[in-house]
Structure 1
């Protein structure tokens, strides 16, 4: 098995640190955490709760040290190479753009060993980034939870029933799936080449919703509405719930002036947003896509579509440094 116990002669236990849980159930792993960010610390805590042994964690910032103390009490802090040497499964939970460099740096100091499980939680990347940067013979696993994290204990409950995208080498997929199931999640298989598209979909469907709601809230606040959330909350929840129920073909849930072919109202919106360039740019872009969906779904006809597109006008790029010039 890839996680067969190996003696640790260099890690925290050998250096006199206390290591919890010397007696482990069969199939339990010694886990090392490299990067105690919001995701990594929670994942490590979840695996610890089901009997795995978190032997060490690397943390530098005050926030990371606080997460280890709160979510992984008693786990010693150690340099990344010592964390790796002490572990059978390594959680390499660093930012996406740092995965390759950190993995390669650990390879340069010969911290990895063949048969070691190495997990990253990036949505964008599959396993190639680990296989290329780390030592040959490791078992790379990509396990991405499709949820947001606060880096606190409240995230643990949210892992239950969360979907995790898993990518693994041939024959190793059951290992990644089992880890997800142990945490209470639901694994779905995403192929290596589909990871960027998978992650783009999540960002577009979640992060960009936050951007749109933030802009809409600012528009309402600008006209003196003190609690924009009370206005937007019911409407936003109903819209998102409806879209999810009908996904991926949610044309029936579209509402608003574009799907009514009301070009005059769209023109009024553009005029109202003229001095808010960022919101205007976003409104135009999303209104065009909405018009495309409405036309393809039969909500508006070609003539109405043409009127809407003409009203929206050319999609001039937002110039860096553009700001709201309202006095």
Structure 2
């Protein structure tokens, strides 16, 4: 991998490394940072230090990055040729600017963050001191365990970087076993919203359905929902909304009304989620010719009637 030349201070790099290998410092041994650090290490980069504050993060660092010293943040930045910032989105701007204020960033140093929300503009304080900014966001949910390393070959990363160093960002992702997809700076927030909508809200839907099944005595809701949700997801990814089945797609107004009435007695967050998602589903089904305007209107009215009844 071709990377910008940067002198290595005596003793800073430890043992001699192969050409193109970097000394990597990981700031934030959360679920993402520890896993990506381990992936870069597997690609023969040297992880020179990791920061870990909580007991869980220290344990994660010990399991995924054994032998890597736990260091302070400024120590890591001082030693590393590639600094990987794996911290919460809201903490990233202050961390970058705070390190810039004390002159920690170095010319030629690669600085990569793992935030989905931000592109490289958030790294401007480091760039002004000569550092090279990269945004490498894995489109994957992580557990923080070694299992995550086996998921990387099926994973894509949203990559944003200045044109001159975009190949470096892409090469790092490929070395971790994943696929880089270029996301423009101005598109990062929408990109991240799409991923959060698909991943986080899927978890909420699964939890709500599990709660409903548990409330009627189903002992293993996961065994009932697992095959259904996996098949639905695979069909949706393969065929889009052409894979839609169920009462809304059939225009089965009576069943939709019965669902809405039964869910009126369920926790409010579940009934609200069902009725709003069903209404959106009906609207999108209408746009794609799966429902007639009359069917879509009837379903929308069926979803609204429990709320109207309650307000009277």
Place the TM-score, normalised by the shorter chain, in its bin. Answer: over 0.9
CA distance in 1, matches of 2:293, 2:244: 17
Q: Is residue 128 of structure 1 aligned with residue 121 of structure 2?
A: yes
Q: Structure 1: which 4+ aligned runs deviate by more than 6 Å?
A: none
Matched with 1:4 is 6
CA distance in 2, matches of 1:196, 1:146: 13
Do the aligned partners of residues 144 and 315 (structure 1) sit closer, same or farther apart at CA in structure 2, a change above 3 Å counting? farther
5+ residue gaps, structure 2, are 308-312
Structure that is richer in helix per residue = 2
Structure 2 counterparts to residues 136-285 of structure 1, below 5 A: 136-246=129-239, 250-275=240-265, 276-285=267-276
| Shift, 1:129, TM fit | 0.6
Q: Secondary structure, in 3 states, of the residue corresponding to 2:19?
A: coil
Q: Deviations over 1:95-132 (max 9, x none)?
A: 01000111111112211112110010111111111114
Do the aligned partners of residues 3 and 279 (structure 1) sit closer, same or farther apart at CA in structure 2, a change above 3 Å counting? farther
Q: Secondary structure, in 3 states, of the residue corresponding to 2:164?
A: coil
Matched with 2:310 is none
Deviates more, 1:82-91 or 1:45-54: 45-54
Aligned counterpart in structure 2 of residue 87 of structure 1, from 73, 80, 96: 80
Matched with 1:45 is 38
Matched with 2:281 is 290
Q: Note if contact 2:261-2:306 (Cα within 8 Å) is conserved in structure 1.
A: no
Matched with 1:112 is 105
CA distance in 1, matches of 2:190, 2:305: 28
Q: Note if contact 2:50-2:71 (Cα within 8 Å) is conserved in structure 1.
A: yes
Q: Note if contact 2:100-2:129 (Cα within 8 Å) is conserved in structure 1.
A: no
CA-based RMSD: 1.7
Q: Note if contact 1:118-1:140 (Cα within 8 Å) is conserved in structure 2.
A: yes
Do the aligned partners of residues 315 and 149 (structure 1) sit closer, same or farther apart at CA in structure 2, a change above 3 Å counting? farther
Q: Secondary structure, in 3 states, of the residue corresponding to 1:123?
A: coil
CA distance in 1, matches of 2:170, 2:306: 44
Deviates more, 1:199-208 or 1:130-139: 130-139
CA distance in 1, matches of 2:61, 2:142: 15
| Shift, 1:5, TM fit | 3.2
> Paired residues, what number?
304
Matched with 1:28 is 21
Q: Secondary structure, in 3 states, of the residue corresponding to 1:26?
A: coil
| Shift, 1:136, TM fit | 3.2
CA distance in 1, matches of 2:250, 2:84: 50
| Shift, 1:3, TM fit | 4.8
| Shift, 1:7, TM fit | 1.0
CA distance in 2, matches of 1:309, 1:79: 57
Q: Deviations over 1:142-165 (max 9, x none)?
A: 001111111111111111231111
Deviates more, 1:65-74 or 1:82-91: 65-74
Q: Secondary structure, in 3 states, of the residue corresponding to 1:171?
A: helix
Q: Deviations over 1:263-313 (max 9, x none)?
A: 211111111111221101100111011101211111110111111111222
CA distance in 2, matches of 1:53, 1:3: 17
Q: Note if contact 1:114-1:135 (Cα within 8 Å) is conserved in structure 2.
A: no
CA distance in 2, matches of 1:215, 1:232: 11
Matched with 1:300 is 291
| Shift, 1:133, TM fit | 6.0
| Shift, 1:251, TM fit | 2.3
Normalised to the residue count of structure 1, the TM-score between the two structures is: 0.89
Normalised to the residue count of structure 2, the TM-score between the two structures is: 0.93
5+ residue gaps, structure 1, are 317-327
